[in-house]
């Protein structure tokens, strides 16, 4: 077992996991009516995304380089700040999406997630979050007419 594990690196495992997830999503989505490209059914989007995910997994697996068996990687400590901020951003999106609307939820998820990267400043996180709010407003409210209010206080 040790010989097998030393032959592959984390890219191989990641590609294999993406392939398995993609195939699982594809198979589950195929249980719904898929439809055609001009008349999409509820299973079309999951099947398409599952197939894309599986293909990306295959590409990652086969383009990953094999690890040298004698090279030991240095273990880095976990990035607790990143973990906490990313999870907090998802919670903020859920809460603000439910009670505040798309604009505050998008701003919060992008702003908090940007701060998880130590290279971002508060100013750059605000600019990025405002830009994403504008993009989401144009795409989801204007172009797609998504029934998710931009602001929904109360």
Based on the domain organization, do 87 and 35 belong to the same domain? no
Based on the domain organization, do 85 and 125 belong to the same domain? yes
Based on the domain organization, do 128 and 95 belong to the same domain? yes
Q: Is residue 74 in a domain? A: no
Q: Residue 88 is part of which domain span?
A: 80-143
Q: Is residue 68 in a domain? A: no
Q: Is residue 38 in a domain? A: yes
Based on the domain organization, do 8 and 55 belong to the same domain? yes
pLDDT in tens, 94-134: 999 888 888 999 999 999 999 998 888 999 999 999 999 99
- Domain count of the chain? 2
pLDDT in tens, 45-67: 889 999 999 999 999 888 887 65
Q: Is residue 91 in a domain? A: yes
Q: Are 49 and 25 in contact (CB under 8 A)?
A: yes
């Amino acid at each position: 077992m040790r010989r097998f594990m030393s032959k592959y690196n984390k890219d191989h495992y990641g590609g294999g996991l993406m392939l398995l997830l993609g195939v699982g999503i594809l198979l589950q989505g195929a249980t719904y009516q898929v439809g055609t490209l001009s008349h999409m059914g509820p299973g079309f989007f999951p099947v398409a995304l599952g197939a894309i995910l599986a293909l990306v997994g295959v590409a990652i697996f086969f383009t990953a380089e094999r690890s040298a068996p004698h090279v030991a990687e240095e273990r880095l400590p976990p990035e607790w700040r990143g973990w906490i901020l990313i999870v907090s951003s998802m919670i903020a999106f859920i809460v603000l999406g439910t009670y505040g609307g798309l604009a505050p939820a998008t701003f919060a998820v992008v702003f908090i997630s940007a701060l998880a990267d130590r290279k971002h400043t508060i100013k750059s996180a605000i600019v990025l979050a405002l830009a994403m709010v504008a993009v989401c407003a144009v795409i989801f409210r204007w172009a797609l007419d998504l029934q998710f209010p931009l602001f929904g206080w109360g």
